[in-house]
A = this chain, B = another copy of it.
Amino acid sequence: MSSDGAVSGSRTTAGATVFPGPAHPDADVPVHLVDPDGVRHPHASYDPLVADVDGAALQRLYEDLVVVRRIDAEATALQRQGELALWPPLLGQEAAQIGSGRALRPDDFVFSSYRENAVAYCRGVGLADLLRVWRGSASSGWDPYTVNMATPQIIIGAQALHATGYAMGITADGADSVAVAYFGDGATTQGDVNEAMVFAASYQAPVVFFCQNNHWAISEPVGLQARVPIARRAPGFGIPSVRVDGNDVLACLAVTREALARARSGGGPTYIEAVTYRMGPHTTADDPTRYREAHELEHWAARDPLARLAAHLDSLGLLPAEYADAVRSRADAVAAELREACISMPEPAPSALFEHVYSEPNSWLERQQDHYERYLALFGATSAEGPR
Contact = CB atoms under 8 A, between A and B. Distances in A.
Interface residues of A, number: 50
Interface of A: 2, 4, 6-19, 23, 44-46, 188-192, 194-195, 198, 201-202, 223-228, 232-238, 240-242, 255, 258, 262, 270
A15 B19 contact: no
Contacts of A2: 12
A15 B48 CA distance: 11
Contacts of A224: 202
Given A191-B194, A202-B225, A4 B14 contact: yes
A263 B316 CA distance: 56
A227 B202 contact: yes
Identical chains bound together, number: 2
A306 to B, nearest CB: 27
Listed residue (A188, A224, A233) with the most chain B CB atoms within 10 angstroms of its CB: A233
B191 A235 contact: no
A103 to B, nearest CB: 15
Contacts of A234: 236
Given A15-B45, A16-B45, A190-B191, 16 more contacts: A2-B12, A4-B15, A6-B14, A8-B12, A10-B235, A14-B44, A15-B46, A16-B270, A19-B238, A189-B198, A191-B195, A194-B194, A226-B237, A228-B236, A232-B236, A236-B236
B6 A9 contact: no
A232 B233 contact: no
Contact of A18 (B16, B195, B232, B240): B240
A380 to B, nearest CB: 45
A238 B226 contact: yes
